[in-house]
Amino acid sequence: MSVFNARSAWTIYKQELLRAFRTAMQSILAPVLTTTLYFVVFGAAIGGKMSGGGIDGVSYGAFIVPGLLLLTLLGESTSNASFGIYMPRFTGSIYELLSAPVGVGETLVGFVGAAATKSLILAAIILVTASQFVDYSIAHPFYAFGFILLVSASFSLLGFILGIWADSFEKLTVVPMLILTPLTFLGGTFYSINDLPDPWKSVALANPVVFLVNGLRWTFYDRSDVPIGLSIGLTLLFLAICVVFIAWIFRTGWRLRT
Amino acid sequence: MQPILEIRGLTKTYKGGFTALKGVDLVINKGEIFALLGPNGAGKTTLIAAVCGMVRPTSGTIAVFGEDLARNWRSVRSRIGLVPQELATDMFEPVLRSVNHSRGLFGLAPDPARIEEILRALSLWDKRDAQIRTLSGGMKRRVLIAKALAHEPELLFLDEPTAGVDVELRRDMWKQIALLRERGTTVILTTHYIEEAEEMADRVGIIRQGEILMVDEKTAMMERLGRTEALISLAQPLAELPGPIARYPVSLIEEGTVLCYRGGGGEGGGTGTQDVANLTKDLTRAGIDYTAIDIHESSLEDIFVNLLEGPQGVAQRDGQAA
């Protein structure tokens, strides 16, 4: 008896990706458009008027690319994964998953893998689109890819938990809209936290998204407000916590099995 | 007969304190069609959900194919199929893809020929590229059956398979279920249509308020609990019954104008109908004239209603008839 059923996992993964392409307008085009608007307004229009040649020798338009990319990745990974598991719970079609010989491994690879893949596709499209409006470079392409992958996977896991916890569509949108978006805006997407006046700089460091934004910015421009090792370490820790929590969900059946 | 499913002492108490199952013991034999009959809220769906993995039992054991469900859930679940009561599936999916998905989910390699066979048998092949939401209610239910059959289960649960389905489709569904049995699939269906159990089932279990009241072969149940009822309209009203007539399980109703017989062994012209024939001869001998005889066998429905009315209800009727 196998412990992991690769075919089941692949089936879920394929299904979830197909669902994304079926709703491509909403799940791909909309976030790309929103992010592009940021590039145009903040990067090209306002950034061009800024004196002093940007932040730390990086033009303002380029400076905000990693942060904006992260803003989209956090929001989309979370909401994609949460909708992926919430919808079957909502419609009742989850009976099939629950009655199938499928465990936590297959479910995670399927649902979270598909959500993370979507985020990677989205990241690629956004980076290509951004290059049309601002000049940016990537100092550490390998790390950049790794970091994007890590963030996509972690927040897809978070989204999966959210989708299992939520018992209404409202709760589903609360976390991305009311928690992730403000934290990302305040997490140094549009500015360097080193430029903040003193009490606020320390306060900003309590925001975990600061470490994500700066981690990704380091892979682009080799500069960061916080140590890069700490950024990667914290992200891995977050991922591990999510995995442990999901394993607990499957063991106890919390919100899945009555 | 080889058991395929053995449930022992199964209890389920939901978080709110509601106990849906109270120590259910049930053995299902390989190859049979078993109908679980009970009113709404009796615990039918909870019982199915416990075997299929949607509900965690509070206590008790479930063994399927001789394996403990809790321990060997992977191998056990891969051999069980479930058609849920609600029409719950991704309605935007085309039929064929949805059914293929079900097969893959259970870890089986694609088998287009087998899937085509399943879809053809359920008259869905022509609709294979249609989105499920565009189909009629009966067709949607058949899609759910196709999905449940996609991994070729040996044990199939049908939760209210004909709820909200018109008469023609219901007959069609029964035919499909009969075909499954011919292929060797064991079928457990829940229903509150007695007609359905009467038509399809080899054995019937009656569940009420989380307890199995009775499990028996359908025909045996009907023979044991069935009654013949005869209403004999008398030419002249009677004030009391003469001795030879009073020996029968009869009573005078409608102000002595009708003689009511209740008794006998039920279905298949058992002792009941014989009894009524003898009764009419005795009436003639006693010089009691009659104008009409209305005789009928009690159905599974009567038995069901009696059982659900509680032990008292059954006793009362037994007493009356004896």
The residue type at A32:
V
Residues of A at the B interface, defined by Cβ within 8 angstroms: 1-2, 5, 7-8, 10-12, 14-15, 18-19, 22, 87-88, 91-93, 95-103, 253, 257-258
Of A38-52, A54-68, A176-190, A201-215, give the lowest mean pLDDT range: A38-52
What is the average per-residue pLDDT within B38-44? 86
A236 pLDDT higher than 70: yes
pLDDT (tens digit per residue) in A161-218:
999 999 999 999 888 888 898 998 888 888 888 888 888 888 888 899 999 999 999 9
The number of C-beta contacts closer than 8 angstroms across A and B is 82
Q: Residue A15, SS3?
A: helix
Instruction: Select the residue from B48, B98, B101, B105 to test the A interface by mutation, using most A Cβ atoms within 10 A.
Output: B105
B123 pLDDT higher than 60: yes
Closest alpha carbon within chain B to A253: B56
The band of B203, judged by pLDDT with boundaries at 50, 70 and 90, is very high
Tokens matching residue A220: 């682009």
Q: B185 φ, ψ to 5°?
A: -80, 135
The band of A102, judged by pLDDT with boundaries at 50, 70 and 90, is very high
pLDDT (tens digit per residue) in A83-99:
999 999 999 999 999 99
Task: Test A96 with B80 for CB contact under 8 angstroms.
Answer: no
Could you give all domains of chain B from N- to C-terminal order, each with its CATH number? 3-222 (3.40.50.300), 227-297 (3.30.70)
Q: Is B101 on the interface with A (CB under 8 A)?
A: yes
How many CB atoms neighbour CB B247 within 10 A? 10
Q: Residue B204, SS3?
A: strand
Q: Which residues of B touch A98 (CB under 8 A)?
A: 52-54
Q: What interhelical angle do A141-165 and A208-221 show, nearest 10?
A: 150
What is the average per-residue pLDDT within B207-226? 82
* Contact between A77 and A119 (Cβ < 8 Å): yes
More confident residue, B171 or B269: B171
Element (H, E) at B314: helix B311-321
B215 min Cα distance to partner chain A (Å) = 26
What is the average per-residue pLDDT within B149-160? 94
Q: Name the residue facing B105 among A96, A103, A253 (closest C-beta).
A: A96
The total number of residues written for chain B in this structure: 322
Q: Is B110 on the interface with A (CB under 8 A)?
A: no
More confident residue, B30 or B197: B30
* Contact between B201 and B34 (Cβ < 8 Å): yes
* E strands, chain B, in order: 3-13, 19-29, 33-37, 59-64, 67-68, 80-83, 155-159, 186-191, 203-208, 211-217, 228-234, 250-253, 258-263, 290-297
How many CB atoms neighbour CB B270 within 10 A? 16
* Contact between B146 and A141 (Cβ < 8 Å): no
A2 pLDDT higher than 60: no
Task: Test B89 with A96 for CB contact under 8 angstroms.
Answer: yes
Closest alpha carbon within chain A to B148: A96
CA distances from B89 to A97, A151, A170, B93 (A): 11, 31, 22, 9
- CA B175 to chain CA centroid, Å, is 15
How many CB atoms neighbour CB B175 within 10 A? 10
ipTM of the shown complex: 0.86
The residue type at B278:
N
B159 pLDDT higher than 60: yes
Task: Test A95 with B147 for CB contact under 8 angstroms.
Answer: no
More confident residue, B297 or B173: B173
d(CA A74, CA A176): 8
pLDDT (tens digit per residue) in B254-312:
888 899 887 775 444 456 778 888 888 989 988 889 999 988 876 777 777 777 775 54
More confident residue, A106 or B225: A106
Q: What is the mean pLDDT of chain B?
A: 86
A175 min Cα distance to partner chain B (Å) = 25
A28 min Cα distance to partner chain B (Å) = 19
B171 pLDDT higher than 60: yes
Handedness of CA A212, A217, A220, A223 (dihedral sign): negative
d(CA B99, CA A19): 16
Amino acid B240: pLDDT: 84
Amino acid B239: pLDDT: 84
B258 min Cα distance to partner chain A (Å) = 55
User: What does pTM read for this prediction?
Assistant: 0.82
Amino acid B270: pLDDT: 54
A64 min Cα distance to partner chain B (Å) = 39
Q: Name the residue facing A8 among B73, B89, B107 (closest C-beta).
A: B107
Tokens matching residue B158: 């049908």
Instruction: Name the residue ranges covered by the structural domains of chain A.
Output: 6-252
* Contact between A211 and A235 (Cβ < 8 Å): yes
Amino acid B174: pLDDT: 85
What torsion do the CA atoms of A154, A159, A164, A168 make, to the nearest 10 degrees?
160
